[in-house]
Amino acid sequence: MLYLFFLGNHPDISEAEIKMVCNNMVDDATYTREQKHLFLETEQSLAIEKLMDTLGGTIKIAERIAPNATDQDIITYLLSNTPEGKIVFSLNESEKKGKHGIDLKKQLKEHDRSIRYVEPKNTATILHNNLVGKKTDLTIYQDQLFATVGIQPIESLSSRDYDRPGRDSKSGMLPPKLAKMLINLSNIHTEDTILDPFCGSGTILMEAASMGYTNLTGTDTSQKAVDDSIKNMEWLEKKSVSAKAAPYKPVSTIEDINIFKANAEHINKEIAKESIDAVITEPYMGVPLRGHENKPFLQNQAKELSLLYTHTFRSLYDILAPNGTVVFIMPQFRHDNTWVIINCIDRIVEAGFSVEPLTEKSKSLLYWRSGQFVGRMIWKFKKV
């Protein structure tokens, strides 16, 4: 079976995440990357719905339905796929071919069928027309025909981002999609114990719970952040109970999750030794930037954060289980088209950690969009 993954705005991170997740689902996967698309070939079927609920950096997944994509191949597929009633379809092509979809609609009408062609504007269009369920969101890619079988759950992601009761936009909000990617890059089991020592309003805890993780701990130096996290987890629990949840939906309850005020630099005084399997976090990243800060200011902030992170890793070493994992965002600051970097990787290694490369080519991966003043460099470490 050949699957086509449509990658998000950070395709390198998306690819690394997919490989971490899918290699645990099938044991014969082979991958081929083409810019913002990733082919996965396997003899086993993927659990698409669960996969789309798990991944943070994949827009949609399509399955190959024909090795060729001539007009006759497309027409034959649509007629056999929807033998009765109206045929509703959309058509995506890597090479723009003008009114191809409209032309196919005219050809299909010659078979005495009612036809509706949907312009493929975005994932919401696919979702609201139920084209995934119908398997009629079609893509021509490298002269092969694919049908979309899974799409990112944009409505639930948006709800967890914007509808939750506890928010603090002033201190920065970790996107739920990125939180999912961080969790997946850790490559840990759902029964493992996760700690977020800079939990903020609880984004990582919420996404971990939505993915089926149950042993969760969050701490923060801010009492407001702790209160917001508790409030948000209570909201998520009520939301998941009221929904018709599949087995892989949230099973955590607020009683199972430990959230309290603590300083990450001294977290070893609050949590039992070797009791945490993975630390997944976006730490405090300095004061919010507006773009007019001078380089000495940014360098000074980088130096202060370097000390904070180094002390934190020394403390984390004590509470992490043997071979415990840390997925950690290291900020870097944009100044005159260059980066001011936080230099503390060597000291983290000296504290007892090894750097775990996220890809065959890169030790770390950058999450950043043009125009932003702060880049998020994702690192993965293992306790040695």
What would the pLDDT profile of 294-312 be if each residue is shown by its tens digit?
Answer: 999 999 999 999 999 999 9
pLDDT band at 249 (very low <50, low <70, confident <90, very high): very low
Residue of 193, 205, 195, 256 whose CA lies nearest to 229: 205
pLDDT tens across 211-244, in order? Answer: 999 999 999 999 999 999 999 999 998 887 655 4
pLDDT band at 159 (very low <50, low <70, confident <90, very high): very high
Query: In the predicted model, what is the mean pLDDT of residues 248-266?
Result: 75
More confident residue, 238 or 2: 2
Instruction: Give yes or no for residue 97 having a pLDDT over 80.
Output: no
- Please report which residue ranges of 190-336 form alpha helices under DSSP H: 203-210, 223-242, 295-319
Tell me, what amino acid is at 187? N
pLDDT tens across 170-205, in order? Answer: 656 899 999 999 999 999 999 999 999 999 999 999
Query: In the predicted model, what is the mean pLDDT of residues 367-383?
Result: 96
Query: In the predicted model, what is the mean pLDDT of residues 343-348?
Result: 97
pLDDT score, position 248: 36
And the tokens for 233? 């987890």
pLDDT score, position 172: 62
Q: Is 342 helix (H, G, I), strand (E, B) or coil?
A: coil
Q: Is 153 helix (H, G, I), strand (E, B) or coil?
A: coil
Instruction: Give yes or no for residue 109 having a pLDDT over 70.
Output: yes
pLDDT band at 165 (very low <50, low <70, confident <90, very high): very high
> What gap in Å lies between CA 103 and CA 80, rounded to an integer?
19
Domains of the chain (ranges; CATH) run 2-152 (3.30.2130), 155-383 (3.40.50.150)
pLDDT score, position 251: 45
Query: In the predicted model, what is the mean pLDDT of residues 61-68?
Result: 97
Instruction: Give yes or no for residue 350 having a pLDDT over 50.
Output: yes
And the tokens for 137? 């969101």
And the tokens for 324? 């415990």
Query: In the predicted model, what is the mean pLDDT of residues 88-104?
Result: 83
Q: Is 339 helix (H, G, I), strand (E, B) or coil?
A: strand
Instruction: Give yes or no for residue 254 having a pLDDT over 70.
Output: no
More confident residue, 255 or 35: 35
265-286 per-residue burial string, b: 16 or more CB within 10 A, e: under 16 = bebbebbeeeebbbbbbbbbbb
pTM: 0.94
pLDDT score, position 246: 40
Residue of 67, 89, 91, 183 whose CA lies nearest to 134: 89
pLDDT score, position 260: 96
How is the chain split among helix, strand and coil, in percent rounded to 5? 35, 25, 35
Instruction: Give yes or no for residue 356 having a pLDDT over 60.
Output: yes
Of all residues in the chain, what percent carry a pLDDT higher than 70? 94
